[in-house]
Amino acid sequence: MKVQEQTSKLRIAQLKDEAIALADQGNYQTAAENLLQAIAALKQKALDRFFEVAEEIENLDYYAQRIANGQFDAVVRKEMRDQSHQAQARDRKDLQLRGVASGSTDSLEAVNSEDGGVLVKCVREKGKLRVRVISEGYNQDFNVQFPRRLREEGATYLVEEVKLSADGNFYRVAGDIKLYLLPGQQRKRTAQSSSSSRTTRQAAKAVGSAADLETTTTVGDGVLVQCVKDGKKLRARVVSDGYNPNYNIRFPRNIREEGMLFVVDEVKEAKQGGSYIAYGKIRRLV
């Protein structure tokens, strides 16, 4: 089963590359149709019984809709390219499905009652945006397969139904999805969640080179940052879920090395917008 799951994820990565190539040539309809056909084929083979494959299928559907609706922009292209590269070049669970901009609950109807549904909550775990059931009577350790476009850190949702997957290892939501707010609670002004309430940390600094940094093997509660080549310059970009992967980050130049991954305590959007600032301690991911 593990081989089948890994093979499926590699094929999905190739599908993203193929869709990008077609969209770059202006063949948006063909790109979208190919993704939708691939989704149908994956489901027909029951490969969506694997949670990570089900997550990727949801991603493919999201990108197919964006491309079909003429919304193939630089952010979507970057997300698809990053995900494809990471899936094909690395076999690390903490780096899968990276580079995904946060979703938004703006389109959802808001309710204050949990009657007639099941409550689920979007939380950040090891850099990823995950959804968990918080209503009683469910296994709260199980992942929930949930539309990525609606995932907003900290948001609580009222879903019509939660079903156990075929293999009994995760849940799927079914029916209507609504935003659940406590009486008097207001919607967030933006979907971007970057822990802005924490303002005590100092801007990230580093002495020496990347080789001098403390190392870590996990992302934990930190934010994953990668150094990438942008023309002749080395840029730092956030590749954790919930951040705009196109934004540059104010990040120490003395430790930048192409392809290197770092874990920082916190990332917040700059006051003027359009970029990020890294805060707290920087560790090198190994």
Cα–Cα distance measured from residue 135 to residue 185, given in angstroms and rounded to the nearest whole number: 19
Mind spelling out the 3-state secondary structure of 32-59? HHHHHHHHHHHHHCCHHHCHHHHHHHHH
Q: What is the pLDDT of residue 273?
A: 87
Using DSSP's 3-state secondary structure scheme, residue 22 falls into helix
Specify the higher pLDDT residue, 88 or 84: 84
Say what the pLDDT of residue 189 is. Answer: 58
**pTM, full prediction:** 0.61
The pLDDT mean for the chain works out to 85
Q: 137 or 98: which carries more pLDDT confidence?
A: 137
* 89: confidence class by pLDDT, cuts 50, 70, 90: low
Give the mean pLDDT of 204-217: 89
How many other C-beta atoms lie within 10 A of the C-beta of residue 14? 13
For residue 162, what is the DSSP state? E
Please give the distance of CA 47 from its chain centroid, rounded to a whole number. 21
Give the pLDDT of residue 67. 96
120 three-state secondary structure = strand
Q: With bands split at pLDDT 50, 70 and 90, how would you rate the model's confidence at 191?
A: very low
Write the Ramachandran bin of 206: left for phi over 0, alpha for psi from -120 to 50, otherwise beta: beta
Residue, of 18 and 186, whose pLDDT is higher:
18
Of 88-102, 144-158, 219-233, the least confident: 88-102
Q: Select the more confidently predicted residue: 259 or 190.
A: 259
pLDDT at 75 over 80: no
